[in-house]
Structure 1
């Protein structure tokens, strides 16, 4: 008995399909989802590039590179994994699976914040097939359960504060470029502190090994925008 493949039928008409193709191939516009709300945003390409380059020009967060560090960073990862194998932290098969075979730089783009004045962009780096992609997933898998010990979300924070006096005045604050503003050194230090505090010291792989990978992930976070390399 053989199964015949199901026939597929388009859910848009020919004119709509042609219009979508024209929009996709139009170099004068950029189509992105909004940062919040699920809207689809059509931007002028020039304005999009101006916003991106404006963010990347902030030397407090980014610096331009005149070379491609892919091989350098991939070797750094390989060397640390080899050290992990030699010390018995991971086996050789796991080490092989944590290496991206043919890595490429990350790609920088922004999602427009249409709910804010001026529609600034939220910076995103797509790390698909970049050197740190698989070790990032590896670290996340082994540390994800620690999230239950850390305050996260509005209700959790309110419960952590406890009952408030009747005359308490509540206010809110908006942190600009929240994740970008976290210094790497302090972020790595916070990770190490929580891992040492909440993770079973007998867990495998070791917490020291995972924290070393976190440092590599954060310090090797390079990317391309247009034809320029950034870190």
Structure 2
């Protein structure tokens, strides 16, 4: 790897994570056949460079103007050599700069390798289907019909309907993040739903269902929680500890069975009436719409989950 590429990767890492040189560790993969990984040590976050305001201001446009007028730019922590390397890296269309799937790492990946892996993934006809036309307008009409009926039946207010009403019509966009902790660096597909017809409805449903999370005896908050639970378990000499990795969890989740579980949980939720005036059937209708109309665009083509 030449010096220009090295400095470019180093600088990109520093700009993305806002840390100084003593927090950077480079871990180049083998050649450029796989992603180049850049990790950082745990360093305290940078303090805000905004000065203390001389007066108490409300969160209005005037307060924003005041902040901008009194703010001072921080002293640059990059050299001219690093700035030049960053410019060269930006010009290199053969390299993609991506966040790693896990670990707060920044990855530089060969564009051809990335495109080939995505193509292989989307070629799985059991999981994905290439659509001949954009279904956005059809899905929008369906969602509007559901919201109109719920408001007519006094299940939601006009204000709530207006919030959920799909005003933006962006086609969800898919991108992938590399799993650098696994052999071959497989990709994890992520669909950006922002600005799509179901975005506000998805957010509202997520807030509504959030209190149900964590009430299962099998629930683990995170890896720290798992370690705490495992610390209380005694392993005998003839015991065997197994770890299972679920492949493509989202696309392999059975929708019908999942909706049945959610319905049962909602029916058992005594606090539901305090969070919404929607009945369980109305929630499930909206939720069913969201999970059965998942589609996305990639490189000009539109796909749906098969």
After superposition, the C-alpha distances for 1:104-162 in whole angstroms (9 at most, x for unaligned) are 11111111011101110011111110111110100011111111322321757x97xx9
Select the residue among 73, 78, 85 that pairs with 1:8: 73
Select 2:293's aligned residue among 210, 220, 230: 220
What SS is found at the alignment partner of 2:70? coil
User: 1:23-59 CA distances to partner (integer Å, 9 max, x unpaired)?
Assistant: 3343211111111111111111111111111111111
Higher relative CO (Cα under 8 Å, sequence separation at least 6) belongs to: 1
Choose the corresponding residue for 1:152, options 201, 219, 224.
219
* 1:49-71 CA-partner distances (Å, limit 9, x unpaired): 11111111111111010101111
How does the TM-score come out when normalised to structure 1? 0.88
Contact 1:65–1:229 (CA<8 Å) still a contact in 2? yes
Gaps of 5+ in 1: none
Aligned residue for 1:79? Answer: 145
Q: Aligned pair count?
A: 229
Query: Which residue matches 1:104?
Result: 170
Distance across 1 between alignment mates of 2:135 and 2:84 = 41
Choose from 109, 113, 126 the match for 1:60: 126
Gaps spanning 5+ residues in structure 2: where? 1-53, 56-65
Q: Greater shift after overlay, 104-113 or 10-19? A: 10-19
CA distance in 1, matches of 2:160, 2:176: 34
**RMSD between superposed Cα atoms in Å:** 2.6
Which protein is bigger by CA-based radius of gyration? Answer: 2
Q: Report the TM-score, using the length of structure 2 for normalisation.
A: 0.68
Deviations 1:47-96 (A, max 9, x none): 11111111111111110101011111111111111111011110011111
* Structure 2 CA distance for partners of 1:86 and 1:27, relative to 1, 3 Å: same
Task: Give the distance between the partners of 1:163 and 1:12, measured in 2 at CA.
Answer: 49
